[in-house]
Amino acid sequence: MGKLMVLTLLGAGLALVGERLVAFRQRTNAFRKVEPVEPQNCRLIEGLENGSEDIDILPSGLAFISSGLKYPGLPSFAPDEPGQIFLMDMNEQNPKVQALNISDGFDKASFNPHGISTFIDEDHTVYLYVVNHPHMKSTVEKFKFEEQQRSLVHLKTIKHELLKSVNDIVVLGPEQFYATRDHYFTNFFLVLFEMIMDLHWTYAVFYSPREVKVVAKGFSSANGITVSLDKKYFASRMFCLRSLR
């Protein structure tokens, strides 16, 4: 009787895993046939051989690009090289990228940039906020952009217990932003289990120096986030919410 119970439970477990694997493949469009599309007005931007994760464009046409992300389960084009922030002027007829220098005092060797967002102060100073994964942890780095020197001055590292496995951010004001958590677990095998079982345990966070709180939850993988022009609504591929500032 005991053996029969074990076999029954084992069979039920394998059936559940099989069903979850099929559902996971469907969610990721693994069965979908991709039709080739000829690009119209596209061309390769050289200098981003280590990949580009995120881009944020200023009203002036200057674009920041994060590159060199190393993330569990994803291939890395340069595993022994730190990540970088590149600058590109969209006003140029043939725009090229330029790596921005980062001020001393910041641990550039472990720089692992993910999502980015900019904020322009009343005095027109540009601040760049970068999701960073040093040693596979999650922090948000605040930089000041020096346009003449084409450099970034590191101002502050932001940490909080709710800022784990951060994917992307959108900045509202000085040290005020929304952030998304794309995985509940940080261990690769547990992340894989989380994805296969479709656990809806991730969320979006509002951060400010005075208050940090979860503002939306119950998602399988809260990913990129953006803001409407009037800053009333914030949207991800997983949700849309009204600003709770």
Binding-site sequence positions for Ca(2+): 53-54, 116, 167-168, 223
Helix, coil or strand: residue 80: coil
Tell me the CA distances in angstroms from 150 to 69, 146, 153, 185, one per residue in order: 21, 6, 10, 37
Q: In the numeric block, which tokens belong to residue 12?
A: 């039920």
Ramachandran region, residue 47 (left: φ > 0; alpha: ψ -120 to 50; beta: rest): left
SS3 119: strand
The pair of structure tokens assigned to 121 is 């102060």
Residue 134 DSSP code = G
**Spatial strand order in the sheet of 62-67:** 54-57, 62-67, 84-89, 97-99
Catalogue the active-site residues: 114
- For residue 171, what are the contacts with CB-CB under 8 A and spacing of at least 6? 117, 118, 119, 127, 129, 177
